[in-house]
Structures are given as structure tokens and as C-alpha cells.
Amino acid sequence: MNEMTLATLWGGLEAEASRLRQRTLRDLFEADANRFATHSYRLDDLLIDFSKEKLDMGAWAALLRLAHAKGVEARRDAIFAGDPVNETEGRAVFHVALRGGAGPEACAEGEPVMGAVEAELDRFLTFAEAVRTGAYASTNGKRFTDVVNIGIGGSDLGPAMACRALKPDADGPKLHFISNVDSAHATDVLEGLDPTTTLIIVASKTFTTLETMTNANAARDWLAEAIGDAAGAHIAAVSSNVEGAGEFGVAPDRVFVFWDWVGGRYSIWSAIGLPLAIAIGADDFRAFLKGAADMDDHFRTTPMAENLPVLLALAGIWRRNMLKCQTVALIPYDQRLEFFAAYIQQLDMESNGKSTRLDESAPRGSTGPVIWGEPGTNSQHSFFQHLHQGTDVIPVDFLVARHSREDLGDHHALLMANCLAQSRALAFGRTGEEAAAGMRRKGMDEADIDRLTAHRTFPGDRPSTTIVYDRLDPYALGRLIALFEHKVFVQGAIWGVNSYDQWGVELGKDLAVTLIPMVRDGAKAEGIDGSTAGLLAELRR
């Protein structure tokens, strides 16, 4: 694709954006009362409503032209073919194979993988079931009551988020997570657990991550203090570095592997999902994989104009590059998705927070936004003020289930009503006249109405997307995660960045290594700047 054609396509988008800048969401709905029908898309029970985005058919068409021109389909096909699309690390990006999404003949860089994938899946699910039933018991012969996963980033966020999300399905031992190298984290988690019935999983792709290895050593000491030499039987490992796990002392039959072509933040489908499998069991874990595989199928085979991850990505490109929004709020009206924003934050920001393109050039405009969020309705009582009346426009992705997993009277109706109310308020706001009329109806005097009208006016015209699903079960969660994974991929392809490396985390790691002896041992502070030297001296006081 030559630069001139691309410039024309981006120019076409700009033209659509400047046309739409003259129109509000109120205008768009007045012009087309059927916007919901024309701007929402379905895959079975999953529905995505884009009608409250500041987009119309002309803008969608321009976005789709850009996606075609950027070769999104060819790049998608390369992913599913197991090609080494992670060019800076020289690897395939093949997490789709872990859920069968690349078919039974899947090959990574020409090598068939499904034999190994299925064998390892069977191995770790068998182990998960053994822990659940007590067939693999603690050294005192009792069933494990608690399992602690020690990992960070992709080796923590996925299982922690999913175990929380699928609480109603979690009928196995209780799961706990330690990630931070702050001693408070390990202390608070281990405190109150009984080492004689606790299983530790050390999860690290590299098995070298400072935080994880530090916590793993502490947990091993904690076990050893209580059960001595038997501690080893209470430890399992998940890694691509089998040797490293062996050196740490984990017996080979409890080391579960995954491969180089599985990125950390895409690894929940691999043995990194072991804690989830222990919590919910093998059948539910397979349902979780199936949800993702069905989304893979949809993504691989559906024309771009009806393809959910593609459309979600394009709405995001519009927000970021045309509306110039720097952040996106991800608000699940689903309490059990309370860690979903944190999980998608890593997925999205570690993937597309880049300012060098694959061809080494700088991107034409902005790349990945800041992703953040908390569940509704709690967030309505904290930061929604800013979303409604702040000076910046912050688009929102709402997530909501048609049905809750339990029936507690009115709760779910109230939750859904609140979700709908927020996207309405964001989109349509409240004019000064409407605010004044509302106050008049309440019998307020005119002086107060004059004084308060501006404060009680909502600008509206703030975009949001709403994602609806039947209920949050293993299948729905798997499908939802895969939806976001593919969205991130499409955006990366359009921005031209490598969504699968993470060089940006390396500098801080390197600097920490040089600082450790200065902080811990008082080594001479050499080669550091004045500010850091000052802070170091303060912290060592």
C-alpha cells in the first residue's frame, strides 16, 4: 500500500469526521430513528450496539476502506496460518491454536502443533481434576483447600480475572493470587492459609521474572517451614522454560508447558489457565475455550462489514484518531467482571502502546489509548461526574448481561436500567432548556433556576458502545476475551505496530537490576542522576 493511497484514505476519514463534527448524536438519531437496527450487530446472543458512536454509514465505509487497504484480512490469515507475524521477536502469534481456533491441522511456522497442544491441555486438565477430587492430595493425605497462583502480568491477570468472573462455577479449592513484589502482597495472601493443605502454582513464561521468583522463593520457604522436605509436592509450575522450573525444584510431572508463540497477555488459554481449571473444572474450562474458538471462527470467516472484532476496532480507531480521545473507559455492569478492565488494560496497552511501526517509521497519528475502568454502578458514584461534565470526552464501552447468574429480586433490573441510563445521558445529555424545565416542574424559584441551569446542563454527544450477552458463564467469558484480543489485533494492523512485543517494559527492568545493590546493600550510588540519588538516600534513611 503506497503512502499516497493511505494519505487519501486517512484524508477520506478526516472528511467524514469534519462532516460529523457538525452533527450531534441527537441529530443522528433524529435523522435516523432506526440507528439501533442499522448500527448493532450480533453473533448468537452477543450483541454490540454502536448506534451511540458518532459514526454514520459514510464514516463506517471510510473506516472499512482503510482496514481493507491496511491488509487486515491478509494479516489475520497470516495469524491463523501460524506465520511469524511477531517480527521483532521472530515468532508466530498462535494463541488461537490453544482453543482449537486454527483448526485441527494448525501449524506454527510450518510445524503441526495440535498434537502437543491437546496433550498438554489433557495433562493440565487431568491435574486440575486430580487436585479438585483429592486424587492429587496434600502430603498429609487431605484434599487441597487452597491454591495460590504466583505470577505477574499475563501470568496473573487472566486467571485472577477469570476466577473472579466465574465465581458461580468455582466449586473447587479456593484460589488466591500473589503478583506484586511488595511483601505485603505475599504476607496478606498467605496469612490465614494452612500450608498443609495449600498448593502453590508458580506461573511464569520465562521463569526469570524478578517479582515472581522472589514471591516463589518466599512461598517455598513458607511451605518448608510447615512441612519440611515435603514442600516440593505442594508446588506446580507453568512455564515455557521447563529447565528453569526444574532448577527451581518442581518435579517434571507438575511442570506444565506452553510455547514461545503464546504471548504472556494471550496465555490464559494455555496451562496459565491452570488455576481457573482447578477452580471451575475441566468441562467448564473447555466451554471457556469453545467460546473463544467460536469468536475465532466468526473473526476468520465473517466479512469485515459485519465482523464484530473488526467493527469494535474501527469504532476505536475513529475515537482515537478522528475524535482524538486519549482514553477509553471499560465499564462492566457485571460485578464479577471487576478485574476485566485491568485485564484488557494489559492486553490492549502492552499490545498497542507503541510509537514505532513495523517498518520502523513513526505512526501517522496516535496509537493505542489508555484503557481503564471499574464496574457500574459503583463507578457512577465516583468518576462518572467527569465522564458526563468533564472537559474531555471519554468514550465508554459498556458490558451488560441480559440475565444475572442468581435471582435476588430487583437487582438485575436495576443494574440494567442504570447501564442504559448512563449511555443515554452520555449520548443525549440535557440542554439548558430541559434542565430549567425540570427545575420548574419541581417548583423551584426562577432565581435558583437561573443560577443552577448551567451547572445542571449536560453537553451529551459523548460516544459509547454497549456489549450485551446472555449471562456471564465460561463460554461467554471466553468469547468476550477473544473479541477484545481480535479487536486489539485489528487496531495494531491499522496502526502498523507489532501488537505482540513489549520492548517498552525492558528499560525499567534493566534499571531496577542496577539499582537493587544500591538500595538493598548500600552499594555506591554511581552512574545515576541527581534526583534518583537524592531519593535513594532518602529511602535508605
Report the catalytic residues. 350, 381, 509
Q: Least Å distance between CB 509 and ligand F6P?
A: 7
Q: Is the peptide bond before 377 cis (omega within 30 degrees of 0)?
A: yes
Q: Supply the minimum distance, in Å, between the C-beta of residue 342 and ligand F6P.
A: 13
What is the number of residues in the chain? 541
Determine how β-strand 111-112 pairs with β-strand 107-108: antiparallel
Cα-Cα-Cα-Cα torsion 112, 113, 119, 123, nearest 10 degrees, comes to 160
Q: Which is nearer to ligand F6P, 238 or 331 (CB)?
A: 238
Closest approach of ligand F6P to the CB of residue 153, in Å: 3
For residue 150, the minimal CB distance to ligand F6P (Å) is 10
Q: Is 265 in the site for ligand F6P (CB under 6 A)?
A: yes
Is 149 a binder of ligand F6P (CB under 6 A)? no
Only one of the segments 202-210, 278-286, 358-366, 420-428 lies at the binding site for ligand F6P (rule: CB under 6 A); that segment is 202-210
Interface residue with ligand F6P among 505, 512, 516, 537 (CB under 6 A) is 505
Cβ nearer to ligand F6P, comparing 144 with 266? 266
Q: How far is the CB of 376 from ligand F6P (least distance, A)?
A: 28
User: How many other β-carbons are positioned within 10 Å of the β-carbon of residue 342?
Assistant: 18
x-marked contacts with ligand F6P along 337-356 as a string, rule CB under 6 A = -------------x------
Minimal distance, residue 434 CB to ligand F6P, in Å: 48
321 binds ligand F6P (CB under 6 A): no
What does the alpha-carbon distance between residue 37 and residue 49 come to, in Å, rounded to a whole number? Answer: 9
205 binds ligand F6P (CB under 6 A): yes
Largest CA distance in the chain: 80
When asked if residue 212 is in the footprint of ligand F6P (CB under 6 A), the reply is: yes
Cα→Cα distances 250→33, 79, 190, 246, 275, Å: 62, 33, 20, 5, 17
Q: Does 215 bind ligand F6P (CB under 6 A)?
A: no
Asked whether position 186 contacts ligand F6P by CB under 6 A, the answer is no
Among 154, 158, 429, 474, binds ligand F6P (CB under 6 A): 154
**465 lines the binding site for ligand F6P (CB under 6 A):** no
- H or E segment at 503? none
Between helix 282-301 and helix 114-133 the angle, nearest 10°, is: 150
CA distance 39 to 61: 12
Integer CA distances (angstroms), 534 to 108, 508, 531, in order: 50, 18, 5
Complex with ligand F6P: residue 155 or 491, whichever CB lies closer: 155
Q: 218, 186 in Cβ contact below 8 A?
A: yes
Q: How many residues bind ligand F6P (CB under 6 A)?
A: 14
Residue 1 burial (CB count, 10 A):
11
Binding site for ligand F6P (CB under 6 A): 152-155, 204-206, 209, 212, 264-265, 350, 502, 505
